[in-house]
């Protein structure tokens, strides 16, 4: 396991806060209120470990398959439905939505190998990530990949706690399946918009793993 580069500043500041709080607790509270001082240590240590865990990148055996669309993130499948595309496409598509809780791995990966033909950031609201309107009203970043004449759209969506979307993709960039697309901090969602003839391989309630689970085939 490694730590994602996006986590270095946050982890550093959290570690500093952990040290300062517990030094003050030791000198001001530990002699008269040792239980309170111990409780402060346990709570702040738990917070520090949670922050470190949030930015983890686990070692995995990735799935590479030119006919497969691989999950761009960890999480839970909360929607599979046919929708009218609201961006880039002008037709109907199958939308697969994956919700990421703060406990999930938050690295986002390219679902296919191909060309990134579109990459666009949108300012927006911070509705809870499972809200139906979060896909169109929340802060988000959309990327469209083209492979052998077919296209798939991914949409990183901020949630109520996610206040920063990071995306590394530029239009015209050639990308490789499962390389890093970006990162979303603290709870979020990723939507996939797939062609109607794509064969969906997941169902609502499934827990895909980014870079491993095949979401669909085309």
Catalytic residues: 188
d(CA 167, CA 181): 6
Angle at Cα 72 formed by Cα 66 and Cα 73, nearest 5°? 145
d(CA 164, CA 6): 11
Angle at Cα 171 formed by Cα 170 and Cα 177, nearest 5°? 75
How many CB atoms within 10 Å of residue 118?
18
Which helix or strand (DSSP H or E) is residue 28 part of?
Answer: helix 8-28
């Amino acid at each position: 396991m490694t730590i994602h580069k996006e986590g270095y500043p946050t982890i550093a500041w959290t570690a500093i806060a952990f040290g300062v709080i517990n030094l003050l607790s030791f000198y001001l509270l530990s002699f008269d209120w040792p239980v309170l001082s111990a409780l402060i240590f346990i709570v702040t240590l738990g917070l520090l470990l949670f922050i470190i865990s949030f930015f983890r990148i686990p070692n995995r055996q990735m799935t590479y398959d030119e006919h497969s669309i691989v999950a761009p993130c960890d999480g839970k499948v909360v929607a599979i439905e046919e929708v009218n595309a609201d961006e880039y496409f002008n037709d109907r598509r199958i939308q697969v939505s994956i919700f990421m809780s703060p406990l999930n791995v938050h690295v986002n990966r390219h679902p296919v190998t191909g060309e990134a033909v579109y990459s666009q950031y949108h300012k927006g609201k911070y509705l809870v990530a499972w809200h139906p309107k979060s896909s169109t009203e929340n802060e988000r970043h959309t990327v469209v990949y083209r492979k052998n004449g077919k296209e798939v759209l991914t949409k990183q969506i901020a949630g109520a706690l996610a206040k920063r979307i990071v995306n590394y993709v530029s239009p015209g960039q050639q990308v490789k399946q499962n390389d890093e697309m970006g990162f979303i901090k603290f709870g979020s969602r990723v939507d996939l918009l797939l062609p109607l003839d794509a064969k969906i391989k997941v169902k609502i309630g499934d827990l895909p793993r980014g870079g491993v689970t095949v979401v669909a085939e085309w």
